[in-house]
Chain A
């Protein structure tokens, strides 16, 4: 049986804080698309092991915020540190950070010309220099964790949306990331597939992964988030633990938003 346990990263204590630098630190970050300011003077610190849910109306900058954390979007102002590495200080650091940060997209973005197994093993092989056998062993391990080991030889187009998204999660995990970013991971899914993806993310949260999740799934936020961040017009309006956030929001804009969505 190839149940040879955890590869490389042992699950660390899921306590916030811990040793070393914070998972993410943003200092006075500003981001513009042309003349439109998408992020305004953002200060944010995410501790290791922390689970953060980011919500807000569309166009509020919540996706942009996490896309800045692996520099899918460059910022024009301020500094960003990920795991102590300054992302805003040159090409080399960007590459270092991207190796440590996993990302899951709304549209899955699996590689359609590769099998599930190849999707999961390409980055460890080409970026980390892991040999093929080890990369595939690792891929099968994580496919088992997201509960689709039997799909390894298939192509993405042969899978359902929920299965594709779970492959995307496994693909990111295969790099043993220190931090996982989720950009509306269930928004493109049919309703009956949302649960299987959220369950996978809950498992991951319970194992102590540091997670930043942009989502409208408020049940997920209540269940796993340490903090909920509400964004509006490029600003962080309110940050609070889920109970306080949902039951006693401090800001008008927050309660107006919560009033509009069912949770």
Chain B
């Protein structure tokens, strides 16, 4: 019993895109908090903290995101807890984003010239004040473009959640394809929806990059 690939199927796919956005938003928000912690740990004078953050980053950089997803999804099940695919995907991708944003932001923090830190010390500003008022605001300007760039990557990585059965954009495409046998049409549409989400972000990232480059050159 083969279904037509009609308007209902298109709507089903478009509606599923909401879950791609939800998962991306959760992972990005969680990853921002985690990433800031990871970045601060990486540059902390405590060797132990810096080392732990380093191991965390290396692990997520050196393993495929799909394995990270599996480890969280099946890892939690080992403890006899039933975990919803959205929860597992949200946790895995939050950790993933924390590691990558942590490393991106560490670089941005360290790109702030050391003279800024020296001037802060000379004025008597303590660590917290120096970070909050002097270093982080300047690092943030450098960080905007690579951060938006990573957000685009993250949106695409959420497609992996389809494999643990979370019905987002890619999984919706698979479901419709199984009913309609129109893979080119279906996945063409799915790809277009991803593109419609990611492209504007890429444009924003590029524009910001140019704007900050101009400010830096002033």
Contacts and interface: CB of A to CB of B under 8 A. Distances in A.
Interface of A: 70-72, 95, 98-99, 101-103, 105, 107, 109-113, 122-123, 126-127, 157, 171-172, 175
B121 A127 contact: no
Contact of B125 (A71, A110, A126, A172): A126
Interface string B143-170: 0000000000000000000000000000
A236 B116 CA distance: 30
A157 B124 contact: no
Contacts of B218: 157
B124 A109 contact: no
Candidate in A71, A109, A171 with the most chain B CB atoms within 10 angstroms: A109
B123 to A, nearest CB: 4
A102 B124 CA distance: 9
A126 B137 contact: no
Interface stretch (B16-24, B126-134, B199-207): B126-134
14 contacts: A71-B121, A95-B124, A101-B122, A109-B116, A109-B118, A110-B119, A111-B116, A122-B123, A122-B133, A123-B124, A127-B124, A127-B126, A127-B129, A175-B124
Given A123-B124, A126-B129, A105 B115 contact: yes
A10 to B, nearest CB: 22
Contacts of A126: 125, 129, 133
Q: Which 9 A-B pairs have the closest CB atoms?
A: A109-B119, A123-B123, A103-B122, A109-B115, A98-B124, A99-B124, A127-B124, A157-B218, A126-B129
Contacts of A72: 118, 121-122
Interface string B87-124: 00000000000000000000000000101101101111
Contacts of A98: 121-124
Contacts of A172: 122-123
